[in-house]
């Protein structure tokens, strides 16, 4: 099943559509300028436009809104629990959190975007309860990107599987208090039928990456491997997405040493031990993990191919998988071929 482009959208007044839709095979970094009426998160999570000739890094937190949270000004409009979505393969809140962490990390590892981590919401902050995007963060009790679920009725009958509200540009026709209070919100339609399909988890991940892309300033396009266009079955962001993220936010920090999980500037046996201790944990658990996703085979392979690397360069041979590692991967069902990750 392929998601229809019209099913993943933003409210009409906040629609993110490129003024010139990019065509497959023509994307360059310069093509991926962000939306004309969408500001993007700038330094220290402030709202700042980032010209192509002056990319600006950003840092942001994220959170999940629990069920039963009211909307400011409309006490009867309540969020659903993520478990109400019934995504195939996801049965606990922690599993939904892991998929959303993966979606954030896909963008964070592609460019100079720092994932400052998860903010655990208590249910006390209403939807629209923080006046401005830049006021969000741990002290406010919500993340800069705030994931939530509503049924179709609460979304005013919208047929879209998800919606996002971007940061309004000052002076634009969407520059108002309501949109500022919701900028960074990602709303999933909890009663959409595709969550229950056999590949529902893949759709959930892809649509999450898509909506985070909107918050980061990207519109829809027709680039073949982009998560910002159909058919919405990609499990990683595409090469064009990466080029666009770098154009706006700059490249990832040069000092990132993939596989250095204990952050001692060397990829060695100690990092293997940390991988072993955290296998099965949610995405983002290990520092310097550019592979993304739940901790498992991808992170082991990342450690293996970078073994011996340090700030001074490569110095050791790549180790063969140990018996213990193979047993652990087999137990997790991760010993099959590793899907190639786009660079």
Same domain, 28 and 157: yes
Q: Tell me the three-class secondary structure of the chain, residue by residue.
A: CCCCHHHECCCHHHCCECCCCCCCCCCCHHHHCCCCCEEEECHHHCEECCCCCCCCCEEEEEEECCCCCEECCEEEEECECHHHHCCCCCCCHHHHHHHHHHHHHHHHCCCCEEEEEEEECCCCCCECCCCCHHHCEHHHCECCEEEEEECCCCCCCCCCCEEECCEECCCCCCCCHHHHHHCCEEEEECCCHHHHCCCHHHHHHHHHHHHHHHHCCCCECCCCCCCCCCCCCCCCCCHHHHHHHHHHHCCCCCCCCCCCCCCCCECCHHHHHHHHHHCCCCCCCCCCCCCCCCCCHHHHHHHHHHCCEECCEECCCCCCCCHHHHHHHHHCCCCCCCCCCCC
Same domain, 236 and 275: no
Q: Is residue 254 part of a domain?
A: no
* pLDDT reported for residue 325: 57
Q: What is the mean pLDDT of the chain?
A: 81
Same domain, 193 and 310: no
Identify the domain containing residue 58 by its residue range. 7-249
**pLDDT tens across 274-293, in order?**
999 999 887 678 888 876 66
Counting the structural domains of the chain, the total is: 2
Q: Is residue 214 part of a domain?
A: yes
Same domain, 141 and 190: yes
**pLDDT tens across 304-322, in order?**
878 888 876 544 454 555 5
Same domain, 180 and 284: no
Residue with the larger pLDDT of the pair 138 and 322:
138
Q: Is residue 259 part of a domain?
A: no
* pLDDT reported for residue 216: 93
CATH of the domain at 167: 3.40.390.10
pTM over the 0.75 mark: no
Same domain, 313 and 166: no
């Amino acid at each position: 099943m392929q998601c229809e482009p019209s099913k993943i959208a933003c409210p009409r007044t906040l629609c993110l559509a490129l003024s010139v839709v990019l065509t497959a095979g023509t994307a360059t970094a310069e093509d991926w300028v962000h939306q004309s009426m969408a500001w993007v998160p700038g330094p220290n999570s402030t709202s700042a436009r980032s010209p192509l000739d002056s990319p600006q890094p950003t840092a942001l937190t994220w959170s999940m809104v629990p069920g039963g949270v009211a909307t400011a000004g409309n006490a009867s409009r309540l969020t659903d629990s993520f478990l109400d979505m019934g995504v195939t393969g996801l049965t606990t809140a922690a599993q939904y959190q892991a998929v959303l962490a993966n979606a954030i990390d896909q963008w964070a590892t592609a460019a100079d975007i720092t994932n400052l981590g998860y903010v655990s919401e208590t249910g006390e902050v209403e939807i629209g309860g923080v006046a401005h995007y830049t006021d969000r963060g741990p002290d406010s009790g919500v993340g800069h990107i705030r994931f939530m679920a509503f049924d179709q009725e609460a979304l005013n009958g919208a047929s879209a599987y998800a919606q996002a509200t971007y940061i309004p540009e000052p002076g634009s026709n969407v520059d108002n208090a309501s949109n500022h209070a919701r900028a960074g919100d990602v709303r999933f339609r909890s009663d959409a039928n595709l969550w229950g399909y056999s590949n529902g988890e893949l759709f959930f991940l892809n649509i999450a990456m898509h909506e985070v892309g909107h918050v980061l300033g990207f519109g829809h396009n027709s680039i073949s491997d982009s998560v910002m266009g159909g058919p919405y079955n990609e499990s990683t962001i595409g090469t064009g997405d990466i080029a666009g993220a770098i154009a706006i936010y700059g490249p990832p920090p040069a000092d990132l040493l993939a596989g250095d999980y204990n952050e001692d500037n060397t990829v060695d046996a100690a990092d293997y031990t940390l991988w072993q201790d955290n296998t099965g944990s949610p995405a983002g658990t290990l520092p310097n993990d550019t592979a993304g996703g739940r901790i498992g085979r991808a992170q082991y392979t990342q450690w293996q191919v970078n073994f011996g690397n340090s700030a001074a360069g490569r110095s050791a041979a790549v180790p063969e998988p140990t018996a213990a590692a193979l047993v652990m991967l087999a137990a997790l069902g991760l010993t099959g071929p590793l899907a190639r990750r786009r660079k």
